Structure 1
């Protein structure tokens, strides 16, 4: 009886072992099975595209403001980066000496005018020498000029903005010294700006004043329309390129000097471009875009690509892929670089857009 129980136990253990072994074998087979992915073959087609020229935003006008008279700065009313209006107070210097000089000039003028009134009647009667009369008239004129000079110095002790714009540089500080010709502020006028770019000699014939172009601002991800208003007729001595400016209205002040621009202009040219669905893009830990390229043996290779603009559900590939390559569109989460995949071809084809 004891022997029978032992035999049954042994059979149970052996059976359990066989079941576990089969289960592990099935799991291993599933684990070793290549992941199923959706793939598409890359194709490209010609599309007309305007030539793009890199440039930057430049202000309509940049004004350097300085005091016309020397003195100690006692007040500053604006800060760097602040928007100002024409006539707005910027800073002032201590005008005590100029005010005292004006009082002296007023007193001197009163004295000269009083003397002139007294001797004018005598001169008309012939009782006063002409030479002395001329001297008195000269003193009156000098006193009037001296009064105007000192009055202007007091006016010049207060600095006001000559235009609408933004304070980009502020060197004036309370307690500092002001001097004629020494910049206190730099004001940039930004209600209208230019997109400035350069064109090589071989392409300058495609541009005319008044020509409308599109200007893209990558930072803002916005396009603006403007007209070419300035074509410098003299090429740069080194690059032999010509400088052009596109006028852009900027009432909201969103376009700031120094912003990078892309000017789309000139005669459209035919180019080949490849675009793929956004789902094909895989970003690594450094946020660098890649795609999985599948070879004829169904081996997936992680390939770095350079991308351009997004076009709907697709993205333009500017470098890294060749025509007729096969890429993975979906299912990349289970794919490992250099490993085999089970590819299922889709009817969707990675291709070029019709136009840009």
Structure 2
């Protein structure tokens, strides 16, 4: 009995090395995933600044009446072209016409009195003070006549520029006050792109530089020129305003459209390029690639920041170094830490 009992522990000890060896064989036999790899390309190119902006009319005016009253006529609707000097709207002129008529009567009455007293003054039958009083009375009556004449004329509203009616903020029959904006007219024969540039990029641009402006709504790219660069930063964004002027042939570009602007600065910059096919995105829309650890024979995930696309490559702004090696084929099969073998 003692001999059998002593034999069992010895047998168990002899089996342990075999178990360890089996586990090691399992670890070393992990499948290697074949992948294609690419080196990161360092390149020099002209620095390009990309901005997003909105289209504005070259000149935009907000129009309202100089007198109050009831709107009795509107000649145009939103989106229609208007010419300089064209009648846009008018007010009921009845009250102003009556006031003008009363002013005319007052002038005639004072004029007759002035003429009579002037004869007396010329014959030295009227004192200077009395004559001065009637003279001032006539001047006052004529000034009132001019004021009421102008008020009557101001019941009509004309466009001061040629352009398109962007907004009509009233309807016939409404009562409006003095100076309330009722119409917005914009000259769109030339248009401006209004954009903002970060303060770190401000040193690269100046008035007179050319820009390429792509308008997605039209699917076309237009040549423009920088006409204004803001001198003070926006308090909230710390960015500076930029205005880019474009000729609007055919009047196809309309205010409010979105514009994508590219400005070539003339400055050289270094960039890192990788194949566009190497980039993946996760459920959070985060861009990432897989890097090869040559010594370990494994691939590891690395989040990256991307810039512009250049042919079949894409610029990497952050996350990679020039010496890194990225997976450009077969990366869809990988997880972080996968064992790989290069087949490039």
TM-score higher than 0.5 here? yes
Gaps of 5+ in 2: 1-35, 278-305, 317-325, 334-344
Number of matched residues? 257
Structure 2 CA distance for aligned equivalents of residues 309 and 154 of structure 1: 63
Is the Cα–Cα contact under 8 Å of residues 67 and 179 in structure 2 kept in the other structure? no
C-alpha displacement of 1:79? 0.8
* Matched position secondary structure for 1:183: coil
**1:211 aligned partner:** 209
Structure 2 CA distance for aligned equivalents of residues 83 and 67 of structure 1: 20
C-alpha displacement of 1:326? 5.8
**1:169 aligned partner:** 167
Q: Cα–Cα, structure 1 residues 274 and 160, in superposed 2: closer, same or farther, change >3 Å?
A: farther
**2:329 aligned partner:** 325
Gaps of 5+ in 1: 1-40, 277-305, 328-336, 338-356
- Structure 1 residues 206-243: Cα deviation after superposition (integer angstroms, max 9, x where no partner): 11211112111122221111111111111122322221
Structure 2 CA distance for aligned equivalents of residues 264 and 217 of structure 1: 12
Is the Cα–Cα contact under 8 Å of residues 273 and 315 in structure 2 kept in the other structure? no
- Structure 1 residues 126-165: Cα deviation after superposition (integer angstroms, max 9, x where no partner): 1113222122112211111111111111110001111122
Q: Cα–Cα, structure 1 residues 215 and 186, in superposed 2: closer, same or farther, change >3 Å?
A: same
C-alpha displacement of 1:60? 2.3
Q: 1:99 aligns with which of 74, 97, 100?
A: 97
TM-score by length of 2: 0.66
**1:301 aligned partner:** none
Is the Cα–Cα contact under 8 Å of residues 214 and 259 in structure 2 kept in the other structure? yes
- Structure 1 residues 262-300: Cα deviation after superposition (integer angstroms, max 9, x where no partner): 211134643526468xxxxxxxxxxxxxxxxxxxxxxxx
Q: 2:235 aligns with which of 220, 234, 237?
A: 237
Is the Cα–Cα contact under 8 Å of residues 42 and 326 in structure 1 kept in the other structure? no
Structure 2 CA distance for aligned equivalents of residues 268 and 166 of structure 1: 42
Whether 1:254 and 2:272 are equivalent positions in the alignment is no
Shifted more, 54-63 versus 110-119: the winner is: 54-63
- Runs of 4+ more than 6 Å apart: 41-44, 308-311, 315-319
Structure 2 CA distance for aligned equivalents of residues 147 and 62 of structure 1: 34
Structure 1 CA distance for aligned equivalents of residues 244 and 272 of structure 2: 25
C-alpha displacement of 1:192? 1.7
**2:121 aligned partner:** 123
Structure 1 CA distance for aligned equivalents of residues 82 and 275 of structure 2: 48
**1:228 aligned partner:** 226
Q: Cα–Cα, structure 1 residues 324 and 188, in superposed 2: closer, same or farther, change >3 Å?
A: same
**1:82 aligned partner:** 80
- Structure 1 residues 49-89: Cα deviation after superposition (integer angstroms, max 9, x where no partner): 62322222222232111111111111111111222111111
TM-score by length of 1: 0.64
C-alpha displacement of 1:202? 1.8
Q: 1:147 aligns with which of 131, 145, 148?
A: 145
Q: Cα–Cα, structure 1 residues 127 and 204, in superposed 2: closer, same or farther, change >3 Å?
A: same
Structure 1 CA distance for aligned equivalents of residues 215 and 168 of structure 2: 28
**1:110 aligned partner:** 108
Structure 2 CA distance for aligned equivalents of residues 112 and 42 of structure 1: 101
Structure 1 CA distance for aligned equivalents of residues 75 and 313 of structure 2: 50
Q: Cα–Cα, structure 1 residues 42 and 101, in superposed 2: closer, same or farther, change >3 Å?
A: farther
Structure 2 CA distance for aligned equivalents of residues 247 and 42 of structure 1: 46
* Matched position secondary structure for 2:250: coil
**1:272 aligned partner:** 273
RMSD of aligned alpha carbons = 3.1
Shifted more, 64-73 versus 193-202: the winner is: 193-202
Is the Cα–Cα contact under 8 Å of residues 42 and 274 in structure 1 kept in the other structure? no
Structure 1 CA distance for aligned equivalents of residues 65 and 258 of structure 2: 34
* Matched position secondary structure for 1:162: coil
- Structure 1 residues 282-326: Cα deviation after superposition (integer angstroms, max 9, x where no partner): xxxxxxxxxxxxxxxxxxxxxxxx9x9897xxx87799xx75316
**1:283 aligned partner:** none
